[in-house]
A and B are shown apart, each in its own frame.
Chain A
């Protein structure tokens, strides 16, 4: 099974609403990253959060990390149609390579 798994697999919301995606992982991590992938494109880095951090913000994005629960969440506030994409969390296994989860497909409807 995956080191990191996003939940839900798919999410459909109306423009202006908030979108929350979760990532659960199994082993201890040093860092966790969130990426976005638009259809047919490469992944784009959104936020990196370290194991000693609990929350980070970047524009309309807010990421939280709960190492006791081995979970992270990505919140996109005031969503826009342009936020439609797949979102991936990437966790490092024992500080080695990043392992990407299967992703959450977000659809923001106008």
Chain B
């Protein structure tokens, strides 16, 4: 199994540009999570999907952030327009099912730098 796949691994962009991060969860997993990690705020849950449906997006910072999961094998996190404070490592994770009884498998992350 290839594990959770994220792309790109690194992204450097200028303020105001649109950024799209991509995630392929582990096949057969029904839940997908997007996290953001910074030194100041630690690891924050942005949004999670269950069976491709967004269940909780209360962690999405503001309207500049949007996430989609058009099918069970693909999800995107988009930031438009990007700002320097969005610089962080963004992780995607998947688990067998929703709830908290299952371990989450994390991807390698996308390091985003907004200048």
CB of B45 within 8 Å of the partner chain? yes
Given contacts A42-B91, A96-B56, A97-B56, contact A48 B43 (CB under 8 A): no
* B91–chain A nearest beta-carbon distance, Å: 6
Is there contact, CB below 8 Å, between A98 and B45? yes
CB of B14 within 8 Å of the partner chain? no
- What size tier do the contact residues of chain A reach? 20 to 34
- What size tier do the contact residues of chain B reach? 20 to 34
- Of all chain B residues, the one with the shortest Cβ separation from A102 is B42
Known contacts A43-B91, A95-B99, A101-B42; can you find 15 more A-B pairs with CB under 8 A? A2-B42, A41-B108, A41-B109, A42-B4, A42-B93, A42-B107, A42-B108, A45-B103, A48-B103, A50-B101, A88-B43, A96-B100, A97-B100, A100-B35, A102-B42
| Interface set of A (CB-CB < 8 Å, partner B) | 2, 30-31, 33, 35, 41-45, 48, 50, 88, 92, 95-103
A-B contact pairs, 16 of them (CB 8 A): A30-B100, A33-B103, A35-B106, A42-B4, A42-B93, A45-B103, A48-B101, A48-B103, A88-B43, A97-B45, A97-B48, A98-B45, A98-B100, A98-B104, A99-B45, A103-B42
